[in-house]
Amino acid sequence: QSALTQPASVSGSPGQSITISCTKTSSDIGDFNYVSWYQQHPGKAPKLMIYDVSNRPSGVSNRFSGSKSANTASLTISGLQAEDEADYYCSSYASGTTFFGAGTKVTVL
Amino acid sequence: QLQLQESGPGLVKPPETLSLTCTVSGDSVKNTRYYWGWIRQPPGKGLEWIGNIYYSGFTHYSPSLKSRVTISIDTSTNQFSLKLNSVAAADTAVYYCARRSALVPDMYDYWGLGTLVTVTS
């Protein structure tokens, strides 16, 4: 049982916006102040998309945004594009330990 | 440009020890702004954090793997390594090495390409 719960799949049509949720289910994560999101295409290494809940690394499209409310963090992809089809993992950090969610498969219809 | 490259045997027999090395180029493992870590991914499954090491040798390990894992660092060769002992089929996975910010602890900003390790007799 993962300490972070994500939906198994989310889908949307090109141009639409989708949101992936990530809910903290374990007290091991503490205050849930550190949340990041990774994109992974098949056969590729994960790529950092969001860190510290809502910050984008240099080079990541501004179509990707992150937020958090209480025990649920969210990744929103606006203006969905075919290249966004991938697996997305949320991650959190607490007391030296990194936690990953089970991942969400995003399908572009 | 920073690059991380995993290397090591692709096949390991149970209950032997899995040993992997990550070679870092474009940065120094002595850089005080970063930790260096290992993450794995079983085929068709999600990411699992294994542990991190700082240039000083300070380590953090996953509680579920702590009894079997050792991560070490060699600043003279700019490499860090993973040893996982008493392996079983469940340890079959793609193993990634990655760089993590020391100040922003949820930020794994550079990853290696990953290496598949299969545990089979």
Q: Is the pLDDT of residue A20 over 80?
A: yes
How far apart, in whole angstroms, are the C-alpha atoms of residue B102 and residue A34? 13
Q: What pLDDT is attached to residue A30? A: 83
Cα B51 to Cα A16, A86, B35, B70, B80: the distances in Å are 38, 25, 10, 9, 12
Residue A22: which of A80, A109, A96, A99 has the closest Cα?
A99
pLDDT per residue, tens digit, chain B (121 aa), is 999 999 999 999 999 999 999 999 999 999 999 999 999 999 999 999 999 999 999 999 999 999 999 999 999 999 999 999 999 999 999 999 999 999 999 999 999 999 999 999 9
Q: What pLDDT is attached to residue A93? A: 94
Q: What pLDDT is attached to residue A27? A: 84
A–B CB contacts, 8 A cutoff, strictly below: 65
Note the Cα A72 to chain centre separation in Å.
11
Mean pLDDT of A83-98: 96
User: Residue A54 — very low, low, confident or very high, per pLDDT cuts 50/70/90?
Assistant: very high
CA angle B54, B49, A69 (to 5 degrees): 105
CA angle B96, B101, B102 (to 5 degrees): 120
Burial class (CB in 10 A: 0-12, 13-18, 19+), A95: exposed
Q: What pLDDT is attached to residue A14? A: 97
Residue B49: which of B34, B36, B38, B64 has the closest Cα?
B38
Q: Which member of B47, B52, B108 has the closest CB to residue A48?
A: B108
Q: What is the percent of chain B where pLDDT is above 90?
A: 100
Q: What pLDDT is attached to residue A33? A: 86
Q: At A7, list the tokens.
A: 């939906």
Q: What pLDDT is attached to residue B60? A: 96
Q: Which member of A2, A45, A102 has the closest CB to residue B96?
A: A45
Q: What pLDDT is attached to residue B50? A: 98
**Interface of chain A against chain B, CB under 8 Å?**
2, 34-36, 38, 45-48, 51-52, 57, 89, 91-93, 96-103
Cα B19 to Cα A83, A103, B24, B75: the distances in Å are 35, 27, 17, 18
